[in-house]
Structure 1
Amino acid sequence: MSAPLFTVINTFTLKNPADAEEFERRFLDHVQWMRRQEGFQAHQAVRATEESAVYVNLGWWTTPQDFQRVLASETFQAHAKEFHQVVDVEADPSLSVLRVDAADAAAVAAGERPLVVIERFTVTGDTEPFEAAYRAYAEVAAGADGFGHTDLAKSLKRPGGYTAATRWSGEAARESARATPEYAALLALATPVALATAPVAGNRAPAEPARRG
């Protein structure tokens, strides 16, 4: 990655849980439009498994300017107005710090329901040790059974704030990774607020960058 991808992390909370189907329909229509915009790379949308009114979407863009241009468009503003009728939105603009894939993606176990864990960390003081510890943990996790991929992004809004999104084959694989010394070292630096989710839509793998000019 030649430059950190701009990462838009949006948390959507349904005002009425009965509107889940309507929200997902509107969101998927919106994403189809977003995928055609210059600078859009990829997105991953998930829904909390125990807090079913909560959705999280991670969107990756080549630059912040690409996203800001789309954000200012009439189409985006119209879509946002529709969303606000059914959900409350919390945005956390961030920059990618680390992206790690499984050592052998084809070997990821598929026997359980896929699980995406969203972890929000707040680091006080120097953030470099935390980033190094997360990298060490991710490198170990990448070789474990059931690991799919992980992304770590640093918030541009929350001082010391980070968000990690990690895909597992299921809860057993996640718990195995949490038992490693590398994860314990990570927890010694910052305790995450974790949200277990299930995939809804999207493909985390980056798309081909859009041409300019």
Structure 2
Amino acid sequence: MADTLFTVINTFTLKDPAKAGEFEERFLSHVEWMRAQEGFRSHQAVRLTERPGVYVNLGRWRSPQDFQKVLGSEVFQAHAAEFHELVEVSAAPSFNVVRAGDVAAVTPVVVVETFESTDDPETVAKAWSSYAEELAARDGFRHAELDAAILTQGSYTFATWWTSADAARAARAEVPAPADTDADEATHVTAA
């Protein structure tokens, strides 16, 4: 497993689906600013296929402290105020506990799965690490990561990156997930 990263998983739900273009434009401008901030590591923003008014952004930071500095800045607060005009925001600050594959691979399809577990975190990480390894052996796999929410104990997000929706569906049909999840296919909006 790679070094632990602080990951902020934001779910943005458009208040008015007709304003998707405006939101994406503002978000891309925000991302350019974020990339220049100390402690920023990477991010990937996706738009859910079956619910096109919903976006998920996985922002990775060196530490929670680095993100907190940015969060408290006037520029970030101004961007947040603009976003709240267009979207409802659900934030899930998390720690990355499992990564497999090539995180730099920008692929056409991302599957975002959320689930809750009462198992101890080590047991969850081990089960999902094994699952990621099994998925990695399937055609079309590029990357997987499991993030454990900080504020909601037992809440997790597992994301996988694929070369096609068909590859993702076939692999997930062949390899059962270690837990029942809410799964959504998504496509990239931006990545860095």
TM-score, normalized by length of structure 2? 0.93
| Structure 2 equivalent of residue 169 of structure 1 | 163
Structure 1 residues 125, 141: CA separation in 2 closer, same or farther (over 3 Å shift)? Answer: closer
Q: Specify the code of the residue in structure 2 equivalent to 1:75.
A: V
Whether 1:136 and 2:130 are equivalent positions in the alignment is yes
Q: Specify the code of the residue in structure 2 equivalent to 1:136.
A: S
SS of aligned partner of 1:191:
coil
Once residues 125 and 145 of structure 1 are traced to their aligned partners in structure 2, the CA distance between those partners, rounded to angstroms, is 30
User: For 1:1-213, what aligned pairs fall within 5 Å after superposition?
Assistant: 3-101=3-101, 114-180=108-174, 183-184=175-176, 186-187=177-178, 190-203=179-192
Structure 1 residue runs without a partner (length 5+): 204-213
Please report the RMSD computed on the Cα atoms of aligned residues, expressed in angstroms: 1.9
| Structure 2 equivalent of residue 209 of structure 1 | none
Once residues 5 and 126 of structure 1 are traced to their aligned partners in structure 2, the CA distance between those partners, rounded to angstroms, is 20
Q: Specify the code of the residue in structure 1 equivalent to 2:181.
A: P
What number of residue pairs does the alignment pair up? 191
> Aligned-pair distance for 1:138?
1.0
Once residues 33 and 119 of structure 2 are traced to their aligned partners in structure 1, the CA distance between those partners, rounded to angstroms, is 40
CA contact (8 A) 2:2 2:99 kept: no
TM-score, normalized by length of structure 1? 0.84
| 1:9-44 per-position Cα deviation (integer Å, ceiling 9, x unaligned) | 000000000100000000000000000000000000
| 1:85-141 per-position Cα deviation (integer Å, ceiling 9, x unaligned) | 000100000000011116xx99x9x8xxx2101000100132333221111111122
| 1:66-101 per-position Cα deviation (integer Å, ceiling 9, x unaligned) | 000000000000000000000010000000001111
Once residues 151 and 126 of structure 1 are traced to their aligned partners in structure 2, the CA distance between those partners, rounded to angstroms, is 18
Once residues 195 and 174 of structure 1 are traced to their aligned partners in structure 2, the CA distance between those partners, rounded to angstroms, is 11
> Aligned-pair distance for 1:173?
1.1
Q: Specify the code of the residue in structure 1 equivalent to 2:23.
A: F
SS of aligned partner of 1:99:
strand
Tell which structure's C-alpha radius of gyration is larger. 1
> Aligned-pair distance for 1:57?
0.3
**Runs of 4+, deviation exceeding 4 Å:** none
